[in-house]
Amino acid sequence: MGSVPPAHLPSDFLWGFGTASYQIEGAVDEDGRGPSIWDTFCTKPGKIADGSNGDVACDSYHRIHEDIALLKTCGAMVYRFSISWSRVIPLGGRNDPVNEQGLQYYVKLVDGLLAAGVTPVVTLFHWDLPDELDKRYGGLLNKEEFVADYANYGRVIFNVLSPKVKHWITFNEPWCSSVLGYNVGQFAPGRTSDRSKNPEGDGATEPWIVGHNLLIAHGTVVKIFREEYKPVHGGEIGITLNGDWAEPWDPKNPADVEACDRKIEFAISWFADPIYFGHYPESMVKQLGDRLPKWTDKEVALVKGSNDFYGMNHYCANYIKAKTGEPELTDVAGNLEILLQNKAGEWIGPETQSPWLRPSAIGFRKLLKWLSDRYDRPKIYVTENGTSVKGESDRPLDQLLKDDFRVKYFEDYIGAMADSYTYDNVNVRAYLAWSLMDNFEWAEGYETRFGVTFVDYENGQKRYPKASATAMPNIFAKYIQKA
């Protein structure tokens, strides 16, 4: 019998950190940038936990060199960032003017990264739709207009950056845009059936329309990239989907066991199945019926096969308990309860600052295998993974920088990923930790920190690398094989 090889990652494995434009850039009304739906959403009372916004955030618009130096300090090979559509086309539309100053910010950033030996990974859309498009025609709800405007925006960016950038992501977490933006009302534009939260919205129908439109827009821009830019400059393009692992609340109850797959299908396969198979998951068709948009032959041809890699955002795991009876009209989860404790009262993982996030590294490994098995072993890039730390913001700086909980999270999760590559035949090729620095955490404001770098918002956005920043190169050195 041969000995079992130690867990490892391939010699060409890429790792680094990620951020998003509205979370770090600030400078929301400088150099011609127009407002996004998040600028508008933040002005509504009660929407953001601490009443804050992204007006200044980490001031990254003025700190390109500082951020790149930080990446070098952390040993990063790769940096994933997103482009603010309304910085580049302030009004957003295909007939609206392009803002050259806004475009040049990203040119400078990419040039600076390449000069420092850091590979850029560019996300075209990380939730911050130009506000004018939402006002003009309902934004993501309008398939024809949105797809055409997004296609134009993609071309504007590809024209300037595709000679330099080789890794592209069309959309970040379309589930969040669809469900949190159009069902729960927790994210911009805040539409929901709950009239105590918003005067407009239909959570029973709109999330499914938005999800479909995002898939069509994704397929459209991938086609443009593959036909017009890839033949000249090379490169690859995909979409990033989010989803957490699911364990049965009662492993002896077949309904709970079955509900676990349904939970992942409603979160991930909603978008991945059309891309890999050309249709929605059967569990969704069964529950949603005519509320789920129908695929035309043309749309199937556009979307099926439109991923050069699978972008995976992942944080934690949940226990899943099947519900009995008919699903509610506004249900988006698959007629089930999402819990943090199982029938025996065991927690899925330790507490963090984020009520939804409890770490489970074994859940990460299981989900990697689940995705690999379902989608015929695609190349997987982990485009986000990380954790907040309970009470981190309340600690003095010297203690806060010793984020041992986060270091252990990364050790456990990266170890689980190496296990999946070595023992489960999962083709995972890149890992981007969330996040390079503390930033504006959407509805959680600045109360929650996910960064490997502390940002002192009170004193000029100064950056202080935490223990997790310096730990990363050592963790990866342990696993990545020598070429």
Angle between helices 100-115 and 143-161 (to 10 degrees): 50
Residue 393 pLDDT greater than 80, yes or no: yes
Bridge partners of residue 336, in order along the sequence? 322
- Secondary structure string (H, E, C) spanning 314-368: CCCEEEEEECCCCCCCCCCCCCEEEECECCCCCECCCCCCCCCCCCCHHHHHHHH
Bridge partners of residue 199, in order along the sequence? none
Find out whether 313 and 383 touch, Cβ atoms under 8 Å: yes
Question: Degrees (nearest 5) of the Cα angle 288, 212, 44?
Answer: 95
Bridge partners of residue 80, in order along the sequence? 18, 121
Per-residue pLDDT tens digits for 284-343:
999 999 999 999 999 999 999 999 999 999 999 999 999 999 999 999 999 999 999 999
Per-residue pLDDT tens digits for 348-370:
999 999 999 999 999 999 999 99
CA gap 461, 54 in Å, rounded: 13
Segment 115-138 shows an average pLDDT of 98
Bridge partners of residue 338, in order along the sequence? 320
**Contacts of 283 by beta carbon, 8 Å cutoff, 6+ apart:** 261, 262, 265, 266, 334
**Strands in 189-272 per DSSP E:** 236-242, 245-248
Catalytic site residue from 25, 173, 247, 444: 173
Q: Please report the pLDDT score of residue 446 as a whole number.
A: 96
Q: Please report the pLDDT score of residue 375 as a whole number.
A: 98
- Secondary structure string (H, E, C) spanning 71-107: HHHCCCCEEEEECCHHHHCCCCCCCCCCCHHHHHHHH
Q: Look at residues 194, 39, 54 and name the one whose alpha carbon lies nearest to residue 132.
A: 39
Polymer length of the chain:
483
CA gap 415, 17 in Å, rounded: 17
Q: Please report the pLDDT score of residue 78 as a whole number.
A: 98
Is 282 among the residues known to form the active site?
A: no
Find out whether 293 and 208 touch, Cβ atoms under 8 Å: yes
Percentage of the chain exceeding pLDDT 70: 100
Per-residue pLDDT tens digits for 34-43:
999 999 999 9
- Secondary structure string (H, E, C) spanning 287-314: HHHHHCCCCCHHHHHHHCCCCCCEEEEC
C-alpha distances in Å from residue 130, one per residue of 70, 92, 184, 222, 241: 29, 5, 21, 21, 22
Percentage of the chain exceeding pLDDT 90: 99
Segment 190-212 shows an average pLDDT of 98
pLDDT band at 3 (very low <50, low <70, confident <90, very high): confident
Is 346 among the residues known to form the active site?
A: no
Per-residue pLDDT tens digits for 43-94:
999 999 999 999 999 999 999 999 999 999 999 999 999 999 999 999 999 9
C-alpha distances in Å from residue 13, one per residue of 76, 356, 381, 432, 465: 12, 30, 10, 11, 24
Catalytic site residue from 265, 299, 384, 392: 384
Cα Rg of the chain, angstroms: 21
Q: Please report the pLDDT score of residue 1 as a whole number.
A: 57
pLDDT band at 483 (very low <50, low <70, confident <90, very high): confident
Q: What is the mean pLDDT of the chain?
A: 98
pTM: 0.98
CA gap 336, 358 in Å, rounded: 19
Segment 6-33 shows an average pLDDT of 98
Per-residue pLDDT tens digits for 409-458:
999 999 999 999 999 999 999 999 999 999 999 999 999 999 999 999 99
CATH topology of domain 14-250+310-317+358-478: TIM Barrel (3.20.20)
Angle between helices 206-224 and 143-161 (to 10 degrees): 40
Domain ranges (residues) in the chain: 14-250+310-317+358-478
Per-residue pLDDT tens digits for 227-253:
999 999 999 999 999 999 999 999 999
CA gap 91, 130 in Å, rounded: 6
Longest CA span, the chain: 67
